[in-house]
Amino acid sequence: MFKPLFCVVVLVLVVAFSAHTADASGTRGQWASGICSALGVPGCQNNIDLFVAWMQAEGSPCDNNPLDTTLSEGSTSDCNSVGVKNYPSIGAGTKATVDTLTNGMYGGIVSNLKACSDPVTTAHAIANSPWGTGQLAVECAQNCEQSQATCNSWASKGVPGP
């Protein structure tokens, strides 16, 4: 007799938690758009899809750090044993990602982003860089290329935040 009420309460809590989580750091699609702007590259569909695929490849649980950068900036904490960081805000995580991508070691990635290259081409640049995502970036970019619905589904996922 209390089961319907219990289900409603659980549903309300899940929706409230989901809304709070999305508000804290936004969706992957929103973050992709923001990183394009912060990096000074076009916010074209190729770049949005690339960043969404890259985030899917990383699968990061780290706060405000969907690409798993290890750069220590400001008030950070370790997310894992290899030094991937948690950032206190989405702005701090975005800045750290931009600073990492522009440190001189990722020129191939940035050049492809500036040219709005197709996501698979840019993913190969990621795989051939020291970033660490490897071939999984290519596989996820290929999945996005084959199915925009898959890419859109990944884009709607939230970015973990505190």
**Tens-level pLDDT at each residue, the chain (162 residues):** 444 443 333 333 333 333 333 334 699 999 999 999 999 999 999 999 999 999 999 999 999 999 999 999 888 999 999 999 999 999 999 999 999 999 999 999 999 999 999 999 999 999 999 999 999 999 999 999 999 999 999 999 999 988
Q: Is the distance from CB of 83 to CB of 108 less than 8 angstroms?
A: no
pLDDT for residue 74: 84
Q: What predicted TM-score, i.e. pTM, was given to this entire model?
A: 0.84
**Within the chain, where are the H helices?**
3-25, 28-39, 45-58, 90-101, 107-114, 119-127, 135-146, 148-155
**Secondary structure of residue 25 in the 3-state scheme:** helix
